[in-house]
Amino acid sequence: MTRVRQAANLAVAELMRILVDLHNFRWDNAWRITVATLSYTNHTLLPEALETWPLELFERLLPRHLEIIYRINVAHLALADARAPDDLEFKAAVSLIDEKSGRKVRMGQLAFVGSHRINGVSGMHSELMKETVFHELNQLYPGRITNKTNGITFRRWLMVANPKLTDLLREACGEAVLDDPTLLCDLEARASDNAFQQQFRAVKHHNKIALARLVWERLKLVIDPSALFDVQIKRIHEYKRQLLNILEAVALYHAIKDEPQRDWVPRVKIFAGKAAASYSYAKLIIKLINDVAEVINNDPVIAGRLKIAFLPDYNVSLAEIIIPAADLSEQISTAGMEASGTGNMKLALNGALTIGTLDGANIEILDHVGPENIAIFGMKAADVVARRKQGLDATDVIRRSPRLLRAVNAIAAGEFSPGEPGRFQSIAHALSHLDHYMVSADFDSYYDCQRGIDARWQVTPAWTRASVLNVARMPWFSSDRTIREYAQDIWNVPVRATAPEALQPGVQRGATR
Ligand SMILES: *Cc1c(COP(=O)(O)O)cnc(C)c1O
């Protein structure tokens, strides 16, 4: 996947080759056309995704392209020299060739230099691009980096996936809402209306029964549709922190065991996601989730008040069934590491409340739904950078949190893998020491935030109101808005009349489309 995307960076050299070699354009003209034509959307700041290709490989496979890249680099470095004469460090930082670790072509930097616009996919991600990976290039080409926050298509994630909710929204906001999501704002007036709330809850309940049926069919696990459905569905990755979620499940399990008579809020934690084929640690996390599920789901003391379901083979079709049934959306990545996320948008559009960190598009979801309709916890991106710089061991945070200590010890001692007690020792070790993804560091904040969710869930009208307001305030996250912005600000192509104008009185429906 990454290979395919990054290979697109070759477009800079390839378009130059076509213009210069095949169509006899003069170099300067070809360069002007290339830069005016191409734009580069960056999708992640993870270093492993910003590819570098060994010169030796390039020379063998694409010698002419390498020649072109060298010539682009000459003009590019001349510009760097003019801006910062004699600043060798600056020139080394912006060069298309990495001279430090066995000479390589920097493909992301090549895409940057050959594009008229470079964008990130959420406000925070675009700002971090300016501060981190493209810090020097941004100084050399100021104004090229821009932001285009991702969106989702409401046709799939609302109308196809959730027909019952769509019907209710058509009734409440009018038929035109199908073309113009901004009309969802009409829900604001109904958010506290008791009759509307009942209809809204009936839709969610219907969708939860459908998911419960699927969980039974696939896992032979019974889950209660009236429990809080707590959903984390996304690729399994350490930065997405499924580990934080399952660690909280272990701590909650211990808490229920300690006080089984308390009125615990019934909760079903639903996970789905795939790990990359070679990512063995991510696969071990999947194993841990399944092992913890096995113990908790079958413990008579818990009596069904906490259940864990890991649905295998995550894909879009499965997402379309899970998302309409979700009450709580887990968006708990280590701050600074999720470029945008789109699952966060899909779930909020379907009325799930978000529990999340200040990361990626969560920040913009917070801006739109308002702080009272989302649950934010944990370290901020700058805190993460600072803590990593300090090189702190997680021993201190574990010492201060008996709950976390007990959960980590249980995992380390084989409480969930009695047949192989050492199975999760590597996970326990990472949590206790390096804690690169701040799972231990964020644990207490997350646990407390989850208990706040429990308390909110018990006040049904207030929960439903927040859920309705999440739906009402999502229109900006329509991919129609995103595409319109790309068309206007990056591609410079004419934009058709947008839905609101097309639907104004006197304009024939269908006339403009
Ligand atoms: C939306 C979606 C994703 C992206 O989810 P994130 O939570 O943003 O990581 C991944 N896989 C599938 C199948 C999806 O539908």
SS3 readout for 447-474: HHHHHHHHHHHCCHHHHHHHHHHHHHCC
DSSP H/E element including 98: strand 97-98
Task: Among 346, 357, 364, say which to mutate for ligand 1: greatest number of ligand atoms within 8 Å of CB.
Answer: 346
**Ligand 1 atom nearest residue 341's Cα:** 8
Q: Which residues are catalytic?
A: 43, 234-235, 240, 342, 346
Across the chain, mean pLDDT equals 94
Q: How high is the pLDDT of residue 228? A: 98
Q: How high is the pLDDT of residue 504? A: 54
Q: How high is the pLDDT of residue 51? A: 87
Contacts of 312 (CB under 8 A, 6+ apart): 218, 272
- The per-residue DSSP string of 288-333 comes to HHHHHHHHHHT-TTTTTSEEEEEESS--HHHHHHHGGG-SEEEE-P
Spell out the domain ranges in the chain: 2-115, 154-381+452-477
Pair 509, 501: CB distance under 8 Å? no
Closest C-alpha residue for ligand 1 atom 9? 234
Contacts of 314 (CB under 8 A, 6+ apart): 233, 272, 273, 274
Closest C-alpha residue for ligand 1 atom 14? 316
Contacts of 86 (CB under 8 A, 6+ apart): none
341 lines ligand 1 (CB under 6 A): yes
**Ligand 1 atom nearest residue 345's Cα:** 8
Closest C-alpha residue for ligand 1 atom 6? 343
346 lines ligand 1 (CB under 6 A): yes
**Ligand 1 atom nearest residue 152's Cα:** 1
**Ligand 1 atom nearest residue 319's Cα:** 15
241 lines ligand 1 (CB under 6 A): no
For the domain spanning 154-381+452-477, the CATH number is: 3.40.50.2000
342 lines ligand 1 (CB under 6 A): yes
CA of 321 to the centre of ligand 1 (A): 13
Q: Which two tokens stand for residue 360?
A: 């990626």
Q: How high is the pLDDT of residue 511? A: 39
Pair 468, 190: CB distance under 8 Å? yes
Closest C-alpha residue for ligand 1 atom 8? 341
324 lines ligand 1 (CB under 6 A): no
151 lines ligand 1 (CB under 6 A): no
Please, how many CA atoms are within 13 Å of residue 365, restricted to the half-sphere of its CB? Answer: 35
Q: Give the pLDDT of the chain (513 residues) as one tens digit per residue.
A: 334 444 567 999 999 999 999 999 999 999 999 999 999 999 998 877 788 999 999 999 999 999 999 999 999 999 999 999 989 999 999 999 998 878 999 999 999 999 999 999 999 999 999 999 999 999 999 999 999 999 999 999 999 999 999 999 999 999 999 999 999 999 999 999 999 999 999 999 999 999 999 999 999 999 999 999 999 999 999 999 999 999 999 999 999 999 999 999 999 999 999 999 999 999 999 999 999 999 999 999 999 999 999 999 999 999 999 999 999 999 999 999 999 999 999 999 999 999 999 999 999 999 999 999 999 999 999 999 999 999 888 999 999 999 999 999 999 999 999 999 999 999 999 999 999 999 999 999 999 999 999 999 999 999 999 999 999 999 999 999 999 999 999 999 988 765 555 445 544 444 333
Q: How high is the pLDDT of residue 499? A: 55
1 lines ligand 1 (CB under 6 A): no
What's this model's pTM, rounded to 2 decimal places?
A: 0.94
Q: Which of 157, 163, 156, 171 is nearest to 206 (CA)?
A: 163
403 lines ligand 1 (CB under 6 A): no
